Amino acid sequence: MKKLQLPFIIGIGIVIVALLFIQKKQNKEPVRRLPYYGPEELSDKTKHTIANFTLVSQYNETVTKKDIEGKICVVDYFFVTCKSICPIMIKQMQRVYKEFQDDKDVLILSHTVNPEDDSAAVLKRYAEEHGVYDKKWLFLTGDKKHLYSLARKSYLLNAEESDGGADDFIHTQNFALIDKRGHIRGYYDGTDSIEVSRLIQDIRVIKQEE
């Protein structure tokens, strides 16, 4: 009887160790990995990254790509006087803001499409009206052509070909998710609560990847 017990105990021990190893590995590795987005001609060669930029926040402070390095960013475009999709978008973005308000790795970047009217002071009032008093959520303004080029060529939020001139106007409800290395990892309809819930989960996936 004793001779049978030792191999049995050893076998049980091996099974327990194996299960613990599998569990530890699963805890470290994300359940799924997000895709990378970019121009088709780059998809098999290199990963698309957002370009350098220089904009101004609601605090009248210069914000560049260097300032967001190492951050997971949620990006959108809006304008203060919008009465259609923007009020819905900002309510959904507030969910993201509240969910990650104490997370130093997550940053929200809302770019105006109407920089002529949306100055830093206007954006600051707008931010405060929506409960934003910190630098977790930046409302950005700047040169219109620069803002529009970022939307089209960096964040790929608009496929129209235009130059950001006086008659050019971008109006999109989409949010883009950017990882810490500047790669686009997802797009979400900012007027759809289910899509924004998916965005929140995908931010956690990226954090787990990192």
Q: How confident is the model at residue 118 (pLDDT cuts 50, 70, 90)?
A: very high
In percent, the amount of the chain with pLDDT more than 90 equals: 73
Tell me what the mean pLDDT of segment 75-87 comes to. Answer: 97
User: Which structural domain range is residue 8 located in?
Assistant: 1-29
Tell me what the mean pLDDT of segment 38-46 comes to. Answer: 68
Q: How confident is the model at residue 201 (pLDDT cuts 50, 70, 90)?
A: very high
The enclosing domain of 53 has a CATH number of: 3.40.30.10
Is residue 199 domain-shared with residue 109, that is, in the same domain?
yes
Tell me what the mean pLDDT of segment 106-124 comes to. Answer: 98
Is residue 103 domain-shared with residue 49, that is, in the same domain?
yes
Query: Is there a contact between 48 and 184 (Cβ–Cβ < 8 Å)?
Result: yes
The Cα 146–Cα 167 span in angstroms is: 15
Is residue 21 domain-shared with residue 45, that is, in the same domain?
no
Place of tokens 């402070």: 61
Q: How confident is the model at residue 1 (pLDDT cuts 50, 70, 90)?
A: very low
Domain assignment present for 63: yes
Residue 36 DSSP SS3: coil
The Cα 16–Cα 60 span in angstroms is: 58
Is residue 125 domain-shared with residue 57, that is, in the same domain?
yes
Domain assignment present for 170: yes
Is residue 60 domain-shared with residue 85, that is, in the same domain?
yes
Tell me what the mean pLDDT of segment 185-206 comes to. Answer: 98
Is residue 15 domain-shared with residue 50, that is, in the same domain?
no
Q: What is the mean pLDDT of the chain?
A: 88
- Using H for helix, E for strand and C for coil, what is the string for 12-34? HHHHHHHHHHHHHHHHHCCCCCC
Is residue 86 domain-shared with residue 119, that is, in the same domain?
yes
Quote the number of domains for the chain: 2
Is residue 20 domain-shared with residue 66, that is, in the same domain?
no
Query: Would you say residue 127 has pLDDT above 80?
Result: yes
In percent, the amount of the chain with pLDDT more than 70 equals: 81
Tell me what the mean pLDDT of segment 11-38 comes to. Answer: 63
